[in-house]
Structure formats: C-alpha cells, structure tokens
C-alpha cells in the first residue's frame, strides 16, 4: 500500500497503517466494529479507518451508544454519528440506556455505570454481528491521564501499565478491543480533524474540574509541564511502557508456574508473582482486582473476604481463589447502655469485654498495645455511655486531626476489610459523640489535658 493508495494525509495514515501491521491489530478482509461517540477522537478514528479500509478490504460497522446524560446534546451526538455513517456508506448500530438509573440501582460511580453499559452494548453488538474486533479511539493523552488517575488511587503494576493495544472484550473473550491510536497525542488528531474538516461534538462535561480525570487534564498535567518536566507526557508514557513489559513478564511466569506439576507452593512464590496470581484468579471470576482485595486474599489462606453483598471469596493453599459463604456486611442495630456510676466496673457485649476505672489523670497519656488501654477525660465522656457497632454517617475525630471525619473514610484509609468494619465496636459519650473506636486512635475532643481533674482508664479485649 503506497502513498497514493493512502489518500491525502500520507504521514498520519501511513503511521497508522504501519502501526497496525507491526502490532498485528487487524487482519486483511476483517469485519470491524468502530465505537464512535461523536467526539473528536472517535470521529477521527472512523475517518482514518474508512480511508484504510479499501486497501485492507475491511468491512466497517459503526456503533454508537447514547448515555442519555446530556439531554438534547446526547441526541445531537447520535444524529451526527448517524449522518457521518450514512455519508461514508457504513452500517450503523445505535443503542441507548438510562445511565443515571443504572448508577443508582447498582450503586456505582457515574463513570463506571456508563462504562459497564457501553461495553455491554458493544459486546452484544459484536456477538449478534459475529464481529471479532472492536476499534476504540483511546489515544496517548488518555494513557497519561489514566496513569496519573490510577497512581493517585494507589494502583499496582497492571493498572499503571495503562490500556493495552488489544484486550478481550468483557463477556466476549473471542472478540478483541483494539486501540490503534494509543501512540498518538490528541493534538495530532485535532490537527487532522481541522485540516480535513471533520465535524465532531464537544462534550461540555469535559471542562468540569469536578471530574477527577478533568482536574488531571486541566490542572495537574499543565502544572507538571510548567514547573517540573516539560516532556512529562513522554516521560510517563515511557514509564508505562517499562511497567507494562515487566508486568507482562511476571504474568507469563505465573502462567508457567500454574502449568508445572511440581510447582512451588503459593506462599513461597516471590511477592510480585503472588499478587499477579491472585489478580489472575479474580479476573477469571469477573471481580475487580483492587490492591486491597488482592492483599487480603494473598495474606492468609481460607480467610473469607467480603467483596460485596452476597459475595465473599477466599484463597486456598494452592493459590486458587474460590467463592466462600457470604460474610455478613450489614449494620447491626444492637447496642448497650452502660452507666459509669461506679469507681470501676466491667461489661461484656457482642464478643468484647471492657473494664473501666476512674482515677486521677496520669501526667502523660499511656496506652498498652498488649492490654488495649486508653485514658480519657472522665468529665468530657460523662455518663451514661452507649456501646454499639459502627453505623452509617458516624463521624470521629482522631487525636491530632482538626475536624471529625466519616468513620467510613477512616476505615478505607487504614485498609480495614469491609467485613471487619461491621464487627468493630464504638463507644458513644453522653453528648452523643463517638469517643472511642476499636483499634483507632483516641478522640481529640476527649483527651486528657492540663485542665483534666479526673481520668477514665478504658481497657478492652475480645473473647
């Protein structure tokens, strides 16, 4: 395929043609489903593939999914894609769904809800039309933004490696998602669109800095380029390439380990292989392999870990991840009123036992990790108190923090497993504030200070 056969923009089209050949992204005479949103990236992808199609003898089908999130603007996106497909003489498959209703029902983020519905539409379309390739318009800038987004969320090597050029379509393992523009920056695509008069739609939500990805695009990346590294995008892409290659090597080693009849036991594997093995198991089960979930399963065999309501998993000694009996993760309404009307006392509740003593406050706070003891200002705690479990909306101000925060956020930051959170006990002071949470620092508002005249020694243990 020479320059003449490639049309009016030989540099970009030849680059794409060579990239497809080198990476074996598509075959000759292949039928391809092209996902087109109506935005700049996908409209350029559609034009590029349509220009390459005659030489490669591809059969292209356009797929558009209307998320119904922007009212008449979403409908205008669909009309533009329909008109473009008609002008190019390509068949169009359009789908739509109420993403907001799905988000509320499934308790997902808006981004995740839209992604699940969109990929479900692409999977069903590919299956019904017996297509084996779905082309997506992700580009190099998307990769960089995704790297920073995942880095800030604490992703591991697989996540930081970014999007692969090809990957199985969820629900259709025989069908491959293909991203032929991954090495091209958006500026190149924008220039191509401008020079060729390609119409596209702007999504106004892309300018909102309320969306984390948009803050990275509009604030963090420009700051990094201006103050730290002008070539930060190229640097991050290079880092992603290195991480991707190393992660691919570890993944291959895990596959080889599984194939050995006399393989080393799971607990003796290098840490990177253990994590990769658990991740592969989770992916096979269709479960999102978050770092926390991987670590909980990797750390201890036969320990049930709650993933969501109705689903718990555990790992056996061989490294397999299996479904377990569901771990209860519901809020318990059980509570107990405890009058602190004696110099000392003891109480048992829900598997825990407490002892308290009213004493002159010590000169300094003391805590024993072995016995689990804390000192509080007795007058600030008051009497009676309530012993209970964590409840939705509970707030707590650990010592040293300037304001109370949600207990849910503290549990997430401390990586306390979801099921364990519901077992933890809290103590509520006379004024309704939480002054103690099992396993956390004592509360700022109830600590001993120079004005304290009476101390409450609070000790606990389980069993």
Q: Which residues contact 41 (CB under 8 A, 6 or more apart)?
A: 137, 138, 139, 181, 186, 189
For 84, how many CA atoms within 13 A lie in the half-sphere containing its CB?
30
Task: Domains for the chain: give ranges and CATH numbers.
Answer: 4-225 (3.40.50.620), 265-327 (no CATH), 335-462 (3.50.40.10)
Whole-model pTM: value is: 0.64
* pLDDT at position 278 over 70: yes
- What is the pLDDT averaged over residues 403-416? 83
Lowest mean pLDDT among 44-53, 248-257, 408-417: 408-417
Strand partners, 434: 428
Q: How far apart are CA 463 and CA 354, in angstroms?
A: 11
Flag the least confident range among 61-70, 197-206, 326-335, 370-379. 326-335
What is the arithmetic mean of pLDDT over 104-120? 81
Highest mean pLDDT among 96-110, 152-166, 269-283, 298-312: 269-283
Facing residues of 460 across strands?
354
The pLDDT of residue 307 is above 80: no
Sequence-distant (6+) residues with CB within 8 A of 405 are: 395, 396, 397
Three-class secondary structure of residue 32 per DSSP? strand
**Cα-flanking dihedrals φ and ψ of residue 398, to 5°?**
-60, 150
CA 49, CA 85: separation in Å to the nearest integer? Answer: 12
Share of the chain above pLDDT 90, in %: 45
């Amino acid at each position: 395929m020479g320059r003449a056969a490639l049309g009016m923009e030989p540099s970009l089209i030849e680059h794409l043609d060579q990239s497809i050949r080198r990476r074996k992204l598509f075959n000759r005479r292949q039928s391809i489903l092209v996902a087109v949103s109506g935005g700049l990236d996908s409209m350029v992808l559609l034009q590029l593939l349509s220009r390459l199609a005659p030489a490669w003898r591809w059969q292209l089908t356009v797929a558009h999914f209307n998320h119904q999130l922007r009212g008449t603007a979403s409908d205008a996106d669909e009309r533009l894609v329909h008109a473009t497909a008609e002008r190019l003489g390509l068949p169009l498959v359009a789908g739509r769904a109420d993403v907001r209703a799905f988000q509320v029902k499934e308790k997902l983020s808006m981004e995740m809800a839209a992604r699940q519905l969109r990929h479900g539409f692409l999977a069903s379309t590919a299956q019904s039309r017996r297509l084996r390739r779905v082309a997506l318009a992700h580009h190099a800038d998307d990769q960089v933004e995704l790297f920073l987004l995942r880095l800030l969320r604490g992703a591991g090597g697989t996540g930081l490696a970014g999007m692969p050029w090809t990957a199985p379509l969820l629900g259709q393992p025989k069908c491959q998602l293909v991203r032929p523009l991954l090495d091209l920056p958006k500026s190149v695509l924008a220039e191509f669109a401008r020079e060729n008069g390609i119409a596209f739609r702007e999504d106004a939500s892309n300018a909102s800095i309320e969306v984390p990805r948009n803050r990275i695009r509009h604030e963090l990346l420009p700051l990094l380029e201006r103050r730290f590294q002008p070539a930060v995008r190229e640097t991050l892409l290079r880092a992603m390439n290195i991480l991707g290659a190393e992660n691919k090597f570890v993944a291959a080693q895990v596959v080889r380990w599984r194939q050995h009849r006399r393989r080393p036991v799971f607990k003796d594997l290098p840490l990177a292989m253990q994590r990769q093995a658990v991740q592969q198991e989770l992916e096979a089960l269709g479960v999102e392999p978050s770092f926390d979930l991987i670590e909980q399963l990797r750390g201890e065999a036969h320990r049930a870990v709650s993933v969501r309501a109705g689903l718990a998993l555990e790992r056996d000694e061989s490294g397999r991840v299996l479904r377990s009996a569901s771990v209860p993760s519901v809020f318990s309404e059980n509570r107990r009123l405890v009058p602190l009307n004696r110099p000392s006392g003891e109480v048992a509740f829900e598997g825990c036992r407490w002892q308290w003593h009213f004493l002159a406050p010590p000169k300094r706070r003391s805590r024993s990790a072995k016995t689990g003891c804390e000192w509080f200002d007795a007058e600030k705690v008051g009497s009676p108190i309530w012993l209970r479990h964590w409840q939705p909306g509970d707030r707590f101000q650990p010592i040293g923090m300037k304001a109370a925060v949600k207990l849910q956020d503290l549990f997430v930051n401390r990586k306390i497993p979801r099921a364990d959170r519901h077992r933890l006990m809290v103590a509520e002071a006379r004024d309704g504030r939480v002054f103690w949470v099992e396993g956390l620092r004592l509360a700022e508002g109830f600590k001993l200070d120079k004005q304290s005249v009476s101390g409450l020694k609070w000790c606990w243990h389980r069993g």
